[in-house]
Homo-oligomer: A and B are copies of this chain.
Amino acid sequence: MSTREEQKHRTRTTILRIAAEEFDERGYAAVSLNDIAARLHVTKGTVYFHFPSKSALALAVVDTYVARWSALQQEMTRLHLTGLSALVWLSHQVAVGYRDDPGVRAPLRLMRESAVIDGDLPTPFVPWIKTVAQHVVEAQQQGHVRDDVDANIIAWQVVASFFGAQELSHQLSSRGDLTDRVTTMWQLFLPGIMAPGVALPDLTPPL
């Protein structure tokens, strides 16, 4: 990239970061491109140069998240994680991202607020439910989860519990206890679906 292109790219990245912070804190409806320009000490024109509308900016914030989600799945493949180990690892990675990074929280909030945003956003929760169900099926093939468990029904409940856990942790503990709550969630869920005699995977949360 030329210096000029690098500069453009840096500005775009900064706008996306600030926009994620604003959308995460206040939601789509309450944020204006003016607010974002003011926080960056640039003109509204500069923001418009990169994003022609607030909805275009929101869609771009969601796109950065979709890209991170793919990277996370590649990392999991690289680590040879499958079945229940994959599920637990993934849940802790998302919990840490959610705890520490508006770039993870904002897209999730925007997807839930999609009714008021022009343009096509991914349906919230559905990609997660699909991924969890795939790993439950894997765990069944490995003999770790009982065959009579319905992977889609379990996946729905896991995603619901995880989502609820992040909301309670956010509201009641500023997310400080989220990774521990996710560990407890697995301790409660897994014994009910695992095949007899199979040991629990490592549930230790990352720092």
Contacts and interface: CB of A to CB of B under 8 A. Distances in A.
A184 interface: yes
A164 B160 contact: yes
A191 B193 CA distance: 10
Interface string A43-59: 00000000000000000
A171 interface: yes
Majority secondary structure, A binding face = helix
A154 B189 CA distance: 12
Interface string A129-156: 0000000000000000000000001101
How many copies of this chain sit in the oligomeric assembly?
2
Given A27-B27, A29-B29, A30-B29, A160 B167 contact: yes
Contacts of A164: 159-165, 167
Given A29-B27, A188-B192, A192-B192, A125 B168 contact: yes
Interface string A169-190: 0011000000001001100110
A96 to B, nearest CB: 18
A98 to B, nearest CB: 13
Nearest to A169: B160
Interface residues of A, number: 32
Nearest to A170: B112
Interface of A: 26-27, 29-30, 112, 123-126, 153-154, 156-157, 159-165, 167-168, 171-172, 181, 184-185, 188-189, 191-193
